Amino acid sequence: MKELDIENKIPHPSEKLKINSVLEKNAEAEPFNYSTNNLKLLADALRYAARYQSKRSKFLSAYYKMLGFNPDTIKKYSDIEKIPFVFVNALKERDLTTLPPEEIILELKSSGTSGQRSRMQLDLGSLLRVRRMAYNVFNALGLADLKNEHDYLCFTYDPEFAGDVGTAWTDKLLTYFTKKGEIYYSFKWDAAKKDFYFDIENAVKKMKEYEEKQSMVRLLGFPAFALKLTEEFKKVFGRYPKLNPASSVITGGGWKNLSDEAIDKKTYRKILADNLSIPVENVRDLFGMVEHGVAYVDCRLGNFHIPIYGKIISRDPISLKNIGYGKKGLLQFITPYLTSYPSFSVLSSDWGEVKEGCDCGIDGPVLEVCGRAGVRKLKGCAVSAAHMLK
């Protein structure tokens, strides 16, 4: 298990990458610039990634041979859908690491409760690229601020005890996107029970402290906990908190409540913004997968924009054909940054659609995630955390 403090030993994600290959060129592209050059750059990067990994992975080599796929056939953007996918469950059942153990500097795992956890093993190059891409996305959406200090209230696992949980690494990384003030993690470790618990009493106190000093505050983590905290604050103080209006919220990890019923995201944004006395456009959501790594983040209108760092395809669940824009299907996630794990083309268990654009003015397609597919629901990070709300 690699410790999450690796972030303290490598360059800040705002620093430009040293260009060693087309993979770094893709990671340095403007995230929502869908120019002809950037589309070709993505195709070139994916051809490079498929070549690189198929030469080092016995699994991929045999898989490509069985399907008659040659990475050299990826010459332009429209060819990307030819890349064979690996179903996400394979990443839960097998160790498919491409590189030798000594080259892996960070291992992350999903925090699902179904007994199987996906793992992602990153070499230095892959780690630097995925961090840089995330920073570029947040910066392009106006969510990076290295000039002003932000205090953090995190509804996620304390990274000192979280080990290799992917969501803990993600939220720790997000604190690097602003100038840091205080960082408070509200999921505390109970050594006796060997489990995390939501320390809501001290989280309320911390919220009151931030309110009183009127610092810029950023709330991070699972959506249900942020809303729960504002309601608990009202019980204690007879009113909702009034944060500095430049404060913000970045949620991530699922939109299920304890009854396992979907919460409408746009309604949630308005309620939480009102409860915190901040503009609704300051409440954003983040979608990501430990198996994939690319950050899909809300614009000011609340829609997930797909950066040029990859491609998402909606596939028919029976024929697995690409069904194009505006139709719900199984989501395939493709990205070239990985040189350490063969999940650069993964068919997920997520049900959703890709839409052609958004009224916010940002170029490129947008993603709508509609939930998990299948009769038997796959439990993920949000469900794992939900027991702490009981």
What does DSSP assign to residue 379? P
Domains of the chain: 4-101+109-128+309-355 (3.40.50.12780), 147-305+376-389 (3.40.50)
Q: Rounded mean pLDDT of 283-302?
A: 92
Q: Rounded mean pLDDT of 90-104?
A: 84
Q: Which of 45-59, 110-124, 165-179, 314-328 has the lowest mean pLDDT?
A: 110-124
Please report which confidence band the pLDDT of residue 158 belongs to, taking 50, 70 and 90 as the band edges.
confident
- The pLDDT assigned to 118 comes to 66
Please report which confidence band the pLDDT of residue 252 belongs to, taking 50, 70 and 90 as the band edges.
confident
Distance of CA 73 to the CA centre of its chain: 30
Bridge partners for 180 per DSSP = 150
Q: Output phi, psi for 365, to 5 deg.
A: -75, 165
- The pLDDT assigned to 79 comes to 97
- The pLDDT assigned to 95 comes to 78
C-alpha–C-alpha distance, residues 319 and 321, integer Å:
5
Please tell me which residue, 2 or 203, carries the higher pLDDT value.
203
Kindly write down the DSSP assignment for every residue of 162-224, as one continuous string.
HTTBHHHHHHHHHGGGEEEEEEEEEEEEETTTTEEEE-HHHHHHHHHHHHHHT-EEEEEE-HH
For 17-74, write each residue's pLDDT tens digit: 999 999 999 999 999 999 999 999 999 999 999 999 999 989 999 999 999 999 999 9
Q: What share of the chain has pLDDT > 70, as a percent?
A: 87
Q: Is 147 exposed, middle or buried (0-12, 13-18, 19+ CB in 10 A)?
A: exposed
Please tell me which residue, 7 or 377, carries the higher pLDDT value.
7
Q: Is the pLDDT of residue 96 over 90?
A: no
- The pLDDT assigned to 4 comes to 58
- The pLDDT assigned to 165 comes to 58
Please report which confidence band the pLDDT of residue 166 belongs to, taking 50, 70 and 90 as the band edges.
low
- The pLDDT assigned to 113 comes to 46
Q: Is the pLDDT of residue 386 over 50?
A: no
- The pLDDT assigned to 183 comes to 95
- Pairing status of strand 195-198 against strand 216-221: unpaired
Across 5-33, b (16+ Cβ under 10 Å) vs e yields eebeeeeebeeebeeebbbbbbbebebbe
- The pLDDT assigned to 263 comes to 62
List the alpha helices (DSSP H) in the chain.
Answer: 22-27, 36-56, 58-67, 88-93, 124-140, 159-162, 166-174, 200-213, 223-237, 265-276, 381-386
CA pseudo-torsion sign 19, 49, 312, 109:
negative
CB count, 10 Å around CB of 152?
A: 22
Measured at the alpha carbon of residue 169, what is the angle toward residues 353 and 202, in degrees to the nearest 5?
105
Please tell me which residue, 235 or 192, carries the higher pLDDT value.
235
C-alpha–C-alpha distance, residues 219 and 248, integer Å:
6
- The pLDDT assigned to 373 comes to 54
- The pLDDT assigned to 162 comes to 61
Whole-number Cα distances in Å, 221 to 156, 367, 376: 5, 20, 26
- The pLDDT assigned to 259 comes to 39
Please report which confidence band the pLDDT of residue 264 belongs to, taking 50, 70 and 90 as the band edges.
confident
Q: Which of 104-113, 168-177, 351-360 has the lowest mean pLDDT?
A: 104-113
Please report which confidence band the pLDDT of residue 377 belongs to, taking 50, 70 and 90 as the band edges.
very low
- Pairing status of strand 145-157 against strand 119-123: unpaired
Q: Among candidates 139, 74, 143, 96, which has minimal Cα distance to 311?
A: 74
Q: Rounded mean pLDDT of 166-171?
A: 74
Please report which confidence band the pLDDT of residue 90 belongs to, taking 50, 70 and 90 as the band edges.
confident
Question: Which of 16-20, 54-58, 224-228, 256-260 is the most confident on average?
Answer: 16-20
Q: Is the pLDDT of residue 384 over 80?
A: no
